[in-house]
Amino acid sequence: MCELNVILLRGDSREQVMDSVARIVVEGDSIELTGILGEQMTVAGSVKEINFSSGEALILAK
């Protein structure tokens, strides 16, 4: 499987907000994250990068 760690970028800081993310849905400035066990989280921002090689999705905070 290709789970991702989601990192929220605020200026120069990086905060891992969720790990083992299996699904990302973007609707405007709202990004819904769903983990492999069904847990959900919504963050405000925009997707900067999704890198399957490093297992990270980078989100720019709003």
pLDDT tens-place values along the chain, 62 residues long = 689 999 999 999 999 999 999 999 999 999 999 999 999 999 999 999 999 999 999 999 99
pTM over 0.85, yes/no: yes
Predicted pLDDT at 2: 80
Contact 9, 56 (CB under 8 A): no
Domain limits for position 47: 4-61
Domain count across the chain? 1
Contact 14, 56 (CB under 8 A): no
Predicted pLDDT at 1: 65
Q: Which residue has the tokens 């120069």?
A: 12
Q: What is the CATH number of the domain that holds 52?
A: 2.30.30.240
Cα–Cα dist 11/7, whole Å: 12
